[in-house]
Structure 1
Amino acid sequence: MGERREVYSLCCMCTGRCPILVEVEDGIVKHIWGNPHVFGAKSLCPRGAAGVAFEYDNERPQYPMIRDGERGSGKWRRVSWDEALDFIADKLKKIIAEDGAKAIALSDRGGPHTELHKLFLAAIGSPNYFTHDASCSNSVHNAHMSIAGHARNTVGYDYRNCKYMVVFGRNLLESLITGEARNVIEMINSGGKLVYIDVRWNYTASKAYKFFMINPGTDYALALALINVIVNNNLYDVDFVNKYVVGMEYLRSFVQPYTPEWAEKETGIPAEEIRKIAYEAAEAKPSVIFHPGWMTAWTENDFYFRRAIYTLNALMGSYEAKGGIFIAKGAGDCGYKIKTPTSIAPKVTEERCDGAGTKYPWIRKNWGMLQVLPEVVLTGNPYPVRAYIAMRHDPLVAMPDFDTWVKAFDKLDLVVAIDVNWSLTAWYADVILPESTYLERTDHVIVRKGLRPQLALRQKAVEPRFDSRSRFQIFKALAERLGKGEHFPWKDEVELVNWQLEGTGWTIEDFQKKGVIDLTDKPIWYDRNNLKFNTPTGKIEVYSEFLEKAGVPSFAPYERPASPPEGMLRLVTGKIALHTQGRTTSNNPILNELCPENHLYLHPDTAKKFGVKEGDTVVVSANGTEERIKVKVSPYVHPEIAFMLHGFGDIVPLRTRSFGKGALDTRLMKGKLKVTVGGNCPLFETFVSLKKA
């Protein structure tokens, strides 16, 4: 037996960033566990456990490359890091000289590990930072900002102590985070009730006290009917509402038409069941959670649906209540100040190209609306954008309107992909910079916010297998080449981490003990007698003067969703425990073996109507685009939908395990690069036809 050691770190097989324990022997990763100091056990989801296979997979970029043919041709030449970085810097210098730094855009997947990307953009003077959230959580983010002044990702849920939880279409037990799923199960085992509402049955539905298969696109109707019952029967937390909620009379008047009987006709859920949900939730208040969701790029009315869900939480008095929802606590709540790289970033004065915060003042600037970028590139309005950096983000898969994106790429002077995978965006890029994997690099300190906040650190477990570099090395080198190196004053990641921790008494060595640093030994709740929300009134704004002055009603009247035209179905997508972020998991040797392709799930009546059966290959088409996929027949999907998992249908031939298997859902989603009121793309307003292949 050789040298054995254990390294605490953070997973990066999805966006959950679960703390992990990595077993290393003679410089080789042998196993990855969940961090027992955080989870109380070593359990980890299938994606996290498959990180070993990811590390030793050769089907990923191994060295810098510059395109040597037409975009998408797969023709590359290997270059040194200096040549690749010089090539990028020279292109960027020319663009900055001619059109300013605002002509450069960057997108990533969001989250706390984006500090260096934002710092780089600020250093050169570009405002055009984007996350992937236009196709994910923009609507719920902007909804909560408008109603309570806090971002979606700063809201937490006390699942373990919850007595009654209503979840709309968020598959909590499969989607992302192991600890979250465990806490939900503990809630159920302790007698808490879970009501699950979706257009398909799944693992979360299987554990529910009640499951309702709602008519597609009618969730807003159900939320309004629940509010109707609660306010008309005085079921809400009177003391909390009187003290902290603005707009109750407006709300009471607005919901009068939306009775349970009306909602039954829209949703397919019996009126009496709607009343039961309202009364049962009220009986359990304030230990109640109406979950607002995560991936909320469903429909054009998502913003109002999510505002309605947060309103239900306010009516229950759930904010800062045990078993309810809370504002996630950070280092400052524990008396510590953790420096962030962006805290030394220069102020950017240019306006964003997408209108977030200006043309659309209720859309927050910090995430932006990536769906606007192709139009900006193609039209040059409001100004030219000529360079795009995709930082471990694959908009050609994650975003709708593939063809429009490709046209935009063709007009750009420079497309750079920084990635650990052969993404489809990398396949169309001018330059590929291989990032070291999460097991091969150290990142900056992050704060794991919650009731018991912690500091966490991704720590290097093994040396890079290929000619790759960390994100710190990449952005520092680019900044230096652009004459902005003073904004990256640290020589390496260790120096950066220790700089972040200055004044705390801790250093990077303290993370070696158990991978995290606890900032408190007991849960932190804000005083419910003295709550303050980050809104103009300091309260929960069911009625928002800010929105109204911007020309956006606090709530919009419900509009019945369009039904699929004759011979068509509504396309709905989702994820499972094996596959969430498709580019990371679909070609993974282990995960691909367990689930090599996606299928089209059809209700038996629907399959009969279209003349197809289990195992048939069908052609699914929308707006001239076709995808081929095999059918699975199931009574557990709504008859009006065609359901498939996201992230398959690979067209990058270097990903041999996933190449040509299944269908890519977003290629069918044409005409969805829209600016809805919530800033989200309406992905589930896609109608498809199908025929037997």
Structure 2
Amino acid sequence: MKKSVFSMCGMCAVRCPIRVEVEDEVVKWIEGNPHDPGMAGRLCAKGSAGIAMEYDYERPSHPMIREGERGEGKWRKATWDEALDFIGDKLKGIIEKYGGKAIALSDRGGPFRDIHRSFLRAIGSPNYFNHDCTCAKNVQHASISLFGSGRKTFNYDCKQCKHLVLYGRNVFESLKVKGANAVMELLDAGGKITYIDVRASGTAMKATRFWRIRPGTDYALNLGIIHTVIRDKLYDKEFVERWVEGFNELESFVSEYTPDWASAETGIPAEEIVEFAHEISEDKPSVIFHPGWMTARYMDSFYSSRSAYILNALMGSFETPGGLFFQKGPGDVGIKGLNTLMDTIPKPEDKRVDGCGWKYKHFESGPGLLHLLYPAILSEDPYPVKAYIVFRHDPLLSLPDPEEQKRVFDKLDLLVAVDGKYSETGWYADVLLPSATYLEKSSILATGKGLKPQFKIRKKAIEPRNEARPDWWIFKSLAERLGVGKYFKFDDVEDFWEWQLDGTGVKVKDFEEKGFVPLVEAPVWWDRMNDLKFKTPSKKIEFVSSLLEENGITSFKPYESPKKPKKGFFRLAFGRSPVHTHGQTQN
């Protein structure tokens, strides 16, 4: 029997829309969803490897409970009831002694996290984390400091862009399929790419201009460009006067950072910096300075991303074709949004253990900062954390110093890993629960924001292999064992879909035709001179950030040259592989 299923990829965090062909319960083919114009039926190498991942014979096949020492590799096979009862009993004891706040959970974020976050909230814990402290947190906080909201507030109209500037953003190898397609269309239409990196990547080879910059000097380059843009009056004066707070302070700050100075730091000739500033100004506002995915992890990476965003503001590149646009959601087009479990559960009274949102008010409190969990576990300040649940996340592989992490984990009473593979963290856990792959599970419905917002669906293509189970079932089952099952009233994911859609005017059957439901027919653009919705106290773009300044952090950090390696030593440079997703595709 053959069937075709619309779903969402799970081989990286982008989660592209896909179509899966199945024959006799075996996945035979995966391609990009042909109904999505941005996908054009295409899929990257990682997405195409989903079949190999699905039929990997070394996947965890059943729940396992540790018998030997942590990390020793001695396990016993358990039934699901046995494993869930074991976890439930441990968590009950911890909650009775320390409260729900003593339980932390981390995942990879994304559109399906409502289940995981709701489980934590139901047991009274504020301590949800995601992987973002090793990903885009610099960019996130840079965006918050300027616009009052995070990096996902905006997306990029690369297709209509006339000049795209990328700082190590290797769009043709570490890619979003839609993004790569759009950038190719940009080039086909005569648009330009300026690519800045220490590595000669695939994107560098396709760029109009490739600046092989000295490592750690991106911020210096941006300061030199900003100096030139302001000195030569190349900015969008009307947009800046309407939407920017702190322009005069910026002008004063960059006055000493001349192109000649920037050249000495970056290795890029001063005349090229000046030429570039004039060239990109001619194309404004249809230009994009991409703030980076995670930048370089230098001490000033936050300011590198912040200065890239500032350049977008100087160019007036917001809410204009070929620039940055606000991502519209259902509410922006008059449609009720999906119902969420989080909204039905009382918010925990306890403060986050990592200090985000109260001790560190300039850091967003939602997903916190995972690396700040570790010292809190060791010190038990502000309170003890005794259990840590890790869902499809591998901090032992993705965070520095795994041996020190293990020392921290050894202070826990319980470490649980829920994963579809044997991760480093899973191997060190007390319990390993096999999670169904994206091809084996239906997930909760998701919202896709953009110029044309939509609701999206991930439907399972095949039944779970061995004893793998979907995450919604795992967390619902744990919630029932902990006495908070009343918040998870659905018996299957289809029931949950119906509840999510209640009041939206959309039905589950509406997803059958394309795998998504558009909420509008035409792209939605706001009036860029009157209707932009910045969430800062001033309702404008704050070059001088009230959030930063109130917390003792300067909006404009004086530049410091990166440390040079000692003789005989080298800088560690890294980049992305087009066939791997961090540690996710490693066994």
Instruction: Using structure 2 for the length normalisation, give the TM-score.
Output: 0.98
Taking only the aligned residue pairs, the percentage that are identical comes to: 53
What whole-Å deviation, never above 9, does each CA across 1:353-400 have from its counterpart, x for those lacking one?
Answer: 111111111110112111112211122222211110011000011111
Alignment match, 1:252: 251
The whole-number CA distance in structure 2 between the counterparts of 1:46 and 1:532 is 38
Alignment match, 1:682: none
Contact 2:39–2:177 under 8 Å retained in 1: no
Alignment match, 2:34: 36
Could you list the runs of 5+ residues in structure 1 that have no partner in the other structure?
587-654, 656-693
1:347-386 correspondence to structure 2 within 5 Å? 347-386=347-386
Letter in 2 for 1:391: F
Alignment match, 2:575: 574
Alignment match, 1:517: 517
Letter in 1 for 2:495: E
What whole-Å deviation, never above 9, does each CA across 1:546-602 have from its counterpart, x for those lacking one?
Answer: 21111011111111111112221111222121012323x23xxxxxxxxxxxxxxxx
Contact 1:154–1:449 under 8 Å retained in 2: no
Letter in 1 for 2:396: L
1:180-199 correspondence to structure 2 within 5 Å? 180-199=179-198
Could you list the runs of 5+ residues in structure 2 that have no partner in the other structure?
none
The whole-number CA distance in structure 1 between the counterparts of 2:144 and 2:482 is 36
Alignment match, 2:11: 13
The whole-number CA distance in structure 2 between the counterparts of 1:212 and 1:40 is 30
Alignment match, 2:566: 565
Change (3 A) 1:199 1:40: closer
Alignment match, 2:126: 127
The whole-number CA distance in structure 2 between the counterparts of 1:104 and 1:570 is 38
What whole-Å deviation, never above 9, does each CA across 1:130-163 have from its counterpart, x for those lacking one?
Answer: 1111111101001101101221123100000000
What whole-Å deviation, never above 9, does each CA across 1:166-188 have from its counterpart, x for those lacking one?
Answer: 11011011113111101001001
Structure 1 residue 411 corresponds to structure 2 residue 394? no
The whole-number CA distance in structure 1 between the counterparts of 2:117 and 2:284 is 41
The whole-number CA distance in structure 2 between the counterparts of 1:28 and 1:545 is 56
Structure 1 residue 221 corresponds to structure 2 residue 217? no
Letter in 2 for 1:511: F
Larger mean Cα displacement after TM superposition, 508-517 or 70-79? 508-517
Alignment match, 2:441: 441
What whole-Å deviation, never above 9, does each CA across 1:287-316 have from its counterpart, x for those lacking one?
Answer: 010000112361121111111111000000
Alignment match, 1:624: none
1:126-525 correspondence to structure 2 within 5 Å? 126-296=125-295, 298-337=297-336, 338-525=338-525
The whole-number CA distance in structure 2 between the counterparts of 1:490 and 1:390 is 24
Alignment match, 1:539: 540
Alignment match, 1:626: none
The whole-number CA distance in structure 1 between the counterparts of 2:310 and 2:237 is 14
The whole-number CA distance in structure 2 between the counterparts of 1:196 and 1:454 is 32
1:516 Cα deviation (Å)?
0.8
Contact 1:168–1:292 under 8 Å retained in 2: yes
1:320 Cα deviation (Å)?
0.4
The whole-number CA distance in structure 1 between the counterparts of 2:63 and 2:500 is 30
The whole-number CA distance in structure 2 between the counterparts of 1:436 and 1:40 is 25
Contact 1:64–1:81 under 8 Å retained in 2: yes
Structure 1 residue 555 corresponds to structure 2 residue 553? no
Letter in 2 for 1:540: I
The whole-number CA distance in structure 2 between the counterparts of 1:142 and 1:514 is 36
1:454 Cα deviation (Å)?
1.6
1:280 Cα deviation (Å)?
1.1
What whole-Å deviation, never above 9, does each CA across 1:178-207 have from its counterpart, x for those lacking one?
Answer: 111010010011011000000000111011
1:40 Cα deviation (Å)?
5.5
SS in 1 for 2:76: strand
SS in 2 for 1:130: strand
Matched length: 584
Contact 1:260–1:274 under 8 Å retained in 2: yes
The whole-number CA distance in structure 2 between the counterparts of 1:572 and 1:94 is 46
SS in 2 for 1:329: coil
Contact 2:130–2:367 under 8 Å retained in 1: yes
Contact 1:176–1:580 under 8 Å retained in 2: no
SS in 1 for 2:112: helix
Larger mean Cα displacement after TM superposition, 189-198 or 359-368? 359-368
The whole-number CA distance in structure 2 between the counterparts of 1:274 and 1:361 is 37
The whole-number CA distance in structure 2 between the counterparts of 1:518 and 1:308 is 35
Contact 1:164–1:284 under 8 Å retained in 2: yes
Alpha-carbon RMSD: 1.1
1:345 Cα deviation (Å)?
2.5
1:229 Cα deviation (Å)?
0.6
Please list every run of at least 4 consecutive aligned residues from structure 1 whose deviation after the TM superposition is greater than 4 angstroms.
none
1:279 Cα deviation (Å)?
0.9
The whole-number CA distance in structure 2 between the counterparts of 1:222 and 1:34 is 38
The whole-number CA distance in structure 2 between the counterparts of 1:353 and 1:217 is 32
What whole-Å deviation, never above 9, does each CA across 1:657-676 have from its counterpart, x for those lacking one?
Answer: xxxxxxxxxxxxxxxxxxxx
The whole-number CA distance in structure 1 between the counterparts of 2:268 and 2:529 is 37
SS in 1 for 2:373: helix
